[in-house]
């Protein structure tokens, strides 16, 4: 696999090589059926086992308490931006924290359904930090946060206390990258295409009392209750994507679970931030206290040098280091499947580039 | 591939073997990137080409006029049941024809959004026919039909005249199985997992004037206008599923397009119906005038014999012949990718079973 470049794409993103190889090996014959996993009935034995095992493994990996259900839905986080308020913002007010592009999109959709209180915002400083002081509504229907902002590269290290108000979080770009106390949340959602698998499936973790509260007048497919009751088999699920998520979860378990992965992830991030902080050439854009360990954002002395960095990095076998088109700069997305060895190569490259261009 | 059973599953369903093999062959390296198609950015060159080519090929295969857009969405036909009325049933009335389980589900969702007029129904005879006389509302927002009912095995052979009223059709279980005059429709949708590819993507064909009419207060992801404007790249699409759809479309072109496929499909269906009509042992459940060429439903003299038929057919290397759990009986789903040779084997098996059990 010497031709495999180091993949820093923000999502869809790198998958463990052994997962892709397993998909390849069994693509013509899943579970002894003689058929492809893409061809078997979602009501049949072979797929049923895949479906249930993936749910059980996500539960195990994230230590999800028994009063939660796991759903595999379609539409990405973008559809969750609508489903959350459609089900839970019915008459009152919902609190949202505006920490970046993704939080903003969630806020935009929520406003179509009810009253939104912006409980905090870091827009004043280009979303470079997590707001410390929140103006929470005591009787909010819920508080919505984005636990990791892919574009600006910040994350919540400590989650707010919300008392009886359910906390809901978009965890798309960091799910399974660190230990999380799921019991602190009413609902967690995450598009799979960063840390869990290919694009096309969204994991939702929902506390049972919230699922029970979903109103009957919400259309069937957008009602969480439907999918809780039918165990995400109300209609044909995105079987292939769920199958790959299942393989990724097995891979996570094999790595030693989140406990082991979090340690490696911290080390990977530390190595890159160390270069950024080691001189004046690179400049991290996120407040050090709120830095993401998944998406590392930085600038160079000039836009010309940034363009040159991207050009040379591609030649050196790194892809996806260009920052999001809305903010510019550089970004290294180093999800779970990104190897420590690749980070070490990037660090070498960064040091060399600094030497040659300062 | 001698171990590959004949796959009669109603969906997810059989895919062309050469398509699965191509996926397998290039799974570690798409378009010379050195990465899997599951790992590359949806904003990058490799995926962009896949995305656009799949759209262009669907347009070519179905002879779609220039005033239509093709969308690749998530959520299956089940989400379209809600999206259609959410966007188009705003104040007035929509006409629906109740031809079976799928039509009924579409009707149920539409009622959450507005007035539904049941313009025709074949529920009186277990959905065994397409209603001839329709009670259409002259100023309906649209007419909704289900062009092929997977469960009862009937299809519309001639479509109703609706004048200025847009006709909208769920074509999930028959898209690309025959030539269709797309210009007769305002909107066509189809879950991919029968004739187009794996589960997880839904093809939508929408006339431009309808897309322009989508109201701004419909949430972004459920508003057709969003996906028309962003060419189904508003958020991360189900890249892998769209990639496989693209390969299936290339395969369709290689077969000679719908013109050639329709002929083979007609012949495949004719061979099975011939056995059904050839004696008293098998009994077709659909009105001969409205028989589907994709889903062939039939009964045997007793439920015991039906169970025995399923048992023996599985031993003989056929899977998926059991009828839908809601109606019982037998069903042979013979989508585009199902080979003529497999139909001939089924016919042999049916004749032998008849001889041994009459």
CATH number, domain of A300, equals 3.90.1150.10
Asked whether residue A204 falls in the same domain as residue A276, the answer is no
Strands B148-149, B330-333: pairing kind: unpaired
Q: Tell which residue, A7, A14, A13, A17, has the closest CA to residue A319.
A: A7
* Average predicted confidence (pLDDT) for chain B: 97
Strands B167-170, A202-207: pairing kind: unpaired
Digit-coded pLDDT (tens) for B288-303 = 999 999 999 999 999 9
* Total CB pairs under 8 A between chain A and B: 203
Can you tell me the distance from the alpha carbon of B311 to that of B299, in angstroms, rounded to the nearest whole number?
15
Are B240 and A199 in contact (CB < 8 Å)? Answer: yes
Burial class (CB in 10 A: 0-12, 13-18, 19+), A62: buried
Strands A93-98, A115-121: pairing kind: parallel
B335 to chain A: closest CA residue: A39
Q: What is the pLDDT of residue B131?
A: 97
Q: Which pair of tokens denotes residue A50?
A: 């895949």
Q: Tell which residue, A113, A173, A112, A186, has the closest CA to residue A144.
A: A186
Contact B210, B166 (CB under 8 A): yes
CA distance A219 to chain B (A): 6
The one-character DSSP state at A104 is H
Asked whether residue A165 falls in the same domain as residue A265, the answer is no
Catalytic residues of B: 102, 170, 194
Q: Could you give the maximum distance between any two Cα atoms of chain B, in Å? A: 64
Confirm whether A11 is domain-assigned.
no
Asked whether residue A202 falls in the same domain as residue A275, the answer is no
Which of B12, B13, B323 to mutate: most A Cβ within 10 Å?
Answer: B12
Which among B219, B254, B289 is the end of a domain?
B254
Query: In B, residues 247-276, which contact A (CB 8 Å cutoff)?
Result: none
Confirm whether B308 is domain-assigned.
yes
**Per the structure, how many domains does chain B have?**
2
Mean pLDDT (whole number) for B79-89: 98
Beta carbons within 8 Å of A199's beta carbon, 6+ residues apart: A11, A12, A76, A191, A192, A193, A241, B38, B42, B236, B237, B238, B239, B240
Which among B254, B288, B312 is the end of a domain?
B254
ipTM computed for the complex? 0.98
Given the residues A194, A225, A250, A268, the one annotated as active site: A194
Residue B233: domain span:
18-254
Q: Which ranges in chain B belong to alpha helices (H)? A: 17-25, 45-61, 76-88, 101-110, 208-212, 224-229, 239-254, 257-277, 303-315, 340-357
- CB-closest option in A7, A75, A221 to B39: A7
> What is the three-class DSSP state of B205?
strand
Q: Give the sign of the dihedral formed by CA A48, CA A54, CA A60, CA A64.
A: negative
Confirm whether B4 is domain-assigned.
no
Can you tell me the distance from the alpha carbon of A261 to that of A176, in angstroms, rounded to the nearest whole number?
8
Asked whether residue A242 falls in the same domain as residue A117, the answer is yes
Angle between helix A76-88 and A101-110 (nearest 10): 40
Asked whether residue A227 falls in the same domain as residue A303, the answer is no
Are B82 and A222 in contact (CB < 8 Å)? Answer: yes
Asked whether residue A40 falls in the same domain as residue A179, the answer is yes
Q: What is the pLDDT of residue B2?
A: 52
Q: Which pair of tokens denotes residue B60?
A: 């070519």
Asked if A316 is an interface residue toward chain B (Cβ–Cβ < 8 A), one would say no
Which of A41, A314, A326 to mutate: most B Cβ within 10 Å?
Answer: A41
Asked whether residue A176 falls in the same domain as residue A286, the answer is no
Can you tell me the distance from the alpha carbon of B194 to that of B320, in angstroms, rounded to the nearest whole number?
13
Q: What is the pLDDT of residue A326?
A: 84
Q: Would you list the DSSP string of A4-17?
A: --EE--SSS----H
Q: Is the pLDDT assigned to residue B151 strictly greater than 50?
A: yes
Cross-strand partners of A295: A333
Confirm whether B281 is domain-assigned.
yes
Asked if A139 is an interface residue toward chain B (Cβ–Cβ < 8 A), one would say no
Confirm whether B2 is domain-assigned.
no
Which of A21, A74, A315 to mutate: most B Cβ within 10 Å?
Answer: A74
Asked if B201 is an interface residue toward chain A (Cβ–Cβ < 8 A), one would say yes
Are A239 and B27 in contact (CB < 8 Å)? Answer: no
Asked if A38 is an interface residue toward chain B (Cβ–Cβ < 8 A), one would say yes
Are B35 and A235 in contact (CB < 8 Å)? Answer: no
Confirm whether B236 is domain-assigned.
yes
Q: What is the pLDDT of residue B302?
A: 97
Asked if A40 is an interface residue toward chain B (Cβ–Cβ < 8 A), one would say yes
Q: What is the pLDDT of residue A51?
A: 98
Can you tell me the distance from the alpha carbon of A132 to that of A129, in angstroms, rounded to the nearest whole number?
9
Query: In A, residues 285-314, which contact B (CB 8 Å cutoff)?
Result: none
Asked whether residue A100 falls in the same domain as residue A229, the answer is yes
Asked whether residue A194 falls in the same domain as residue A249, the answer is yes
Q: What is the pLDDT of residue A1?
A: 44
Backbone angles phi and psi of A128, in degrees to 5: -95, 0
Confirm whether B102 is domain-assigned.
yes
Which among A228, A254, A280 is the end of a domain?
A254
Taking contacts as CB-CB distances below 8 angstroms, the residues of chain B near A15 are: 36, 38-39
Contact B334, B294 (CB under 8 A): yes
Q: Tell which residue, B311, B10, B123, B329, has the closest CA to residue A236.
A: B10
Asked whether residue A249 falls in the same domain as residue A332, the answer is no
Digit-coded pLDDT (tens) for B184-229 = 999 999 999 999 999 999 999 999 999 999 999 999 999 999 999 9
Q: What is the pLDDT of residue A69?
A: 98
Q: Is the pLDDT assigned to residue B163 strictly greater than 80?
A: yes
Asked whether residue B170 falls in the same domain as residue B260, the answer is no
Cross-strand partners of B93: B115
A321 to chain B: closest CA residue: B41
Task: Please list the pLDDT of chain A residue by residue as tens digits (358 residues).
Answer: 458 999 999 999 999 999 999 999 999 999 999 999 999 999 999 999 999 999 999 999 999 999 999 999 999 999 999 999 999 998 899 999 999 999 999 999 999 999 999 999 999 999 999 999 999 998 999 999 999 999 999 999 999 999 999 999 999 999 999 999 999 999 999 999 999 999 999 999 999 999 999 999 999 999 999 999 999 999 999 999 999 999 999 999 999 999 999 999 999 999 999 999 999 999 999 999 999 999 999 999 999 999 999 999 999 999 999 999 888 899 999 999 999 999 999 999 999 999 999 9
Are B219 and A76 in contact (CB < 8 Å)? Answer: no
Query: In B, residues 44-83, which contact A (CB 8 Å cutoff)?
Result: 44, 74-79, 81-82
Q: What is the pLDDT of residue A2?
A: 52
- How much is the pTM? 0.98
- CB-closest option in A24, A193, A217 to B236: A193
CA distance B160 to chain A (A): 28
Confirm whether B131 is domain-assigned.
yes
CATH code for the domain in which residue A102 is found: 3.40.640.10
CA angle A147, B40, B191 (to 5 degrees): 85
Q: Which pair of tokens denotes residue B212?
A: 């322009």
CA distance A87 to chain B (A): 13
Asked whether residue A160 falls in the same domain as residue A276, the answer is no
């Amino acid at each position: 696999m010497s031709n495999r470049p180091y993949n820093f794409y923000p999502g869809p993103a790198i998958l463990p090589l052994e997962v892709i190889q397993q998909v390849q090996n069994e693509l013509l014959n899943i579970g002894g059926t003689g058929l492809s996993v893409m061809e078997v009935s979602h009501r049949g034995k072979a797929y049923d086992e895949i479906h249930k095992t993936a749910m059980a493994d996500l539960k195990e990996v994230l230590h999800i308490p028994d009063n939660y259900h796991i759903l595999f839905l379609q539409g990405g986080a973008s559809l969750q931006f609508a489903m959350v308020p459609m089900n839970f913002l019915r008459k009152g007010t919902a609190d949202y924290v505006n920490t970046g592009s993704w939080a903003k999109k969630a806020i935009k959709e929520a406003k179509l359904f009810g009253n939104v209180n912006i409980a905090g915002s870091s827009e004043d400083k280009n979303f470079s930090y997590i707001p410390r002081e929140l103006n929470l509504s005591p009787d909010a229907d819920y508080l919505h946060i984005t636990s990791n902002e892919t574009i600006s590269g910040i994350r919540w290290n400590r989650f707010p206390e919300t008392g009886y108000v359910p906390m809901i979080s978009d965890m798309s770009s960091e799910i399974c990258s660190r230990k999380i106390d799921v019991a602190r949340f009413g609902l967690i959602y995450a598009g799979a295409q960063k840390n869990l698998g290919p694009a096309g499936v969204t994991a939702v973790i929902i506390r049972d009392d919230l699922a029970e509260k979903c109103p009957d007048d919400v259309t069937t497919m957008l009602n969480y209750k439907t999918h809780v009751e039918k165990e995400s088999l109300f209609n044909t699920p995105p079987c292939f994507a769920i199958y790959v998520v299942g393989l990724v979860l097995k891979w996570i378990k094999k790595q030693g679970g989140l406990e082991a992965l979090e340690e490696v992830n911290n080390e990977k991030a530390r190595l890159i931030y160390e270069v950024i902080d080691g001189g004046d050439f690179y400049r991290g854009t996120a407040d050090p206290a709120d830095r993401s360990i998944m998406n590392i954002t930085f600038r160079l002395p000039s836009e010309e040098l940034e363009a040159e960095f991207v050009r040379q990095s591609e030649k050196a076998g790194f892809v996806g280091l260009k920052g999001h088109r809305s903010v510019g700069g550089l970004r290294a997305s180093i999800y779970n499947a990104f190897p420590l060895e690749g980070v070490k190569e990037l660090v070498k490259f960064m040091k060399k580039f600094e030497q040659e261009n300062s």
